[in-house]
Structure 1
Amino acid sequence: MQDPNLTPEIPPAVEQQPAPQAAPAGADATPETTVEVMPGLEEALRIAELKAAEHHDAWLRAKAEGENIRRRAQEDIAKASKFAAEKFATSMLPVKDSLEAALSVENQTVEKLREGVELTLRQLVSAFEGANLAEENPLGQKFDPNKHQAISTVEADAEPNTVVSVLQKGYLLNDRVIRPALVMVAKARSQ
C-alpha cells in the first residue's frame, strides 16, 4: 500500500497547459478570423504575381536601355568612320588653295614658283604631322621587311642588308605602315 503522506508524482512528460479561455462576448470564432491573421494562398499568389510583374517590367526596361545603348554606340561608330578624315581634309584645304593660287598667276618666274611650291610643301608636312602621318626614309638603316619593300639588291661598300637607296619614301599612320618605302638593299661583294 501507499503511504498517505506522500503526494503522487507527476511524470515529467506530462505538462499542464493553461485552460482554454472563453472567447470575449460578441466575438465570432470562425475560420474567417484565422484568414485575417494569416494570408491565405490566394493572397500569397496575388502578392507573388505583383512582384513577378514588377520584376518583369524592370527587366523589360533594362533590356530596352541595353538596346538603346547598343544602337547609340553603333551610330557613333558609323559617324566616326564616316567623318574620320574630316580633320585631315580640313588641313588639306590650304594646300589645295596654295596650289590653285600658284597656277592662277600668269607671268610667273621660276624663283617665285619654287618659293610657292616650298611654302605649299611646308603646309602639306604640317597637315601630315597633325594627322600623325610620319615619313619613313630609311637610307642607311637596316632593311626592315615590315616597313620597307626591297626592289633589288646591289653590291655596295655598306654592310649587307642595309638600305643604300630609297626610290620612294614610305609613310606610317600612327606607327602603322600605310605605304612601305621602296628601297635597294646592299649585299656582300662577290670575291
Structure 2
Amino acid sequence: MNQDQPDTATPSPADAAAEGSSLQQQLEALQNEVALLRSESLRERADLDNQRKRVARDVEQARRFANEKLLGELLPVFDSLDAGLNAAGTEASPLREGLELTYKQLLKVAADNGLTLLDPTGQPFNPEHHQAISQVDAPGAAPGSVVQVFQKGYLLNDRLLRPALVVVARD
C-alpha cells in the first residue's frame, strides 16, 4: 500500500457519527416494528381465545337444548296423561295405577334430559313462566296468586319451553 494515499478504511469522525445516527434510527425502527408485531400477536391470540370460548359455549348450548324439539313434541302426551288421570278419578284402579306409573316414568325420563314441570298452583303469578288467561275473585287466596292451572308449563334447562296457562286471584 502506498503511504501517500489517504487511508479509506477508517471513517472520519463525521462519517462515524452519521453512521451511528443511521444505525440508531434503524434500531428504533426495528424496535417499533417488534412492538407492533408483539401487539398484533397478542391481539390475535386474544381473538382466537375468545373465538374458542364462544365456540365451546355454542357447543354446550347446542348440547343442552338438542332434545328441545323432541321434548316439545312430548308435551301433548304429558297433557293427555294428566287429563286421563283427572278423568280416572281418585279411586284406586288398575287403569289409574297404570296411567300414574306411565306418567311418572315419562316425567323421570324427561327430567333426566333437563325438563322441569311448572305446576304453579298457589304460587305468586310469574309473567316469565305463567300466562294468565283470566282473573277471578278467590276468597282465601292471596291477591296475584295462581288459583287454577289449565295447562302445566315446562322449563328445559331453566329456559321456558311452554308457559303454564293459569287463572290468577284478583288484587
1:150 corresponds to: 132
Higher helix share: 2
Alpha-carbon distance in 1 for matches of 2:137, 2:43: 68
- TM-superposed CA distance for 1:179, in Å, is 2.8
Give the count of matched residue pairs. 139
Structure (1 or 2) with the larger CA radius of gyration = 1
CA separation of 1:185 and 1:50: change in aligned 2, threshold 3 A:
closer
CA separation of 1:64 and 1:153: change in aligned 2, threshold 3 A:
closer
Q: Bigger relative contact order, structure 1 or 2, given CA contacts below 8 A and separation 6+?
A: 2
Alpha-carbon distance in 2 for matches of 1:114, 1:57: 73
Q: Is there any run of 5+ residues in structure 1 with no aligned partner, and where?
A: 1-29, 96-109
CA separation of 1:75 and 1:119: change in aligned 2, threshold 3 A:
same
- TM-superposed CA distance for 1:42, in Å, is 1.6
Give the alignment of 1:75-154 within 5 angstroms: 75-86=55-66, 111=94, 115=98, 117-154=99-136
Alpha-carbon distance in 2 for matches of 1:112, 1:151: 32
Following superposition, which runs of at least 4 residues in structure 1 exceed 6 angstroms of deviation?
none
CA separation of 1:142 and 1:31: change in aligned 2, threshold 3 A:
closer
Superposition TM-score, scaled by structure 1 size: 0.50
Q: Is there any run of 5+ residues in structure 2 with no aligned partner, and where?
A: 1-10, 75-92
Query: Deviation string for 1:37-64 (max 9, x for gaps)?
Result: xx72122122223322322332332233
Could you say what the CA RMSD is over the residues aligned between the two structures, in angstroms?
A: 4.1
- Kindly, what percent of the aligned residue pairs are identical? 29
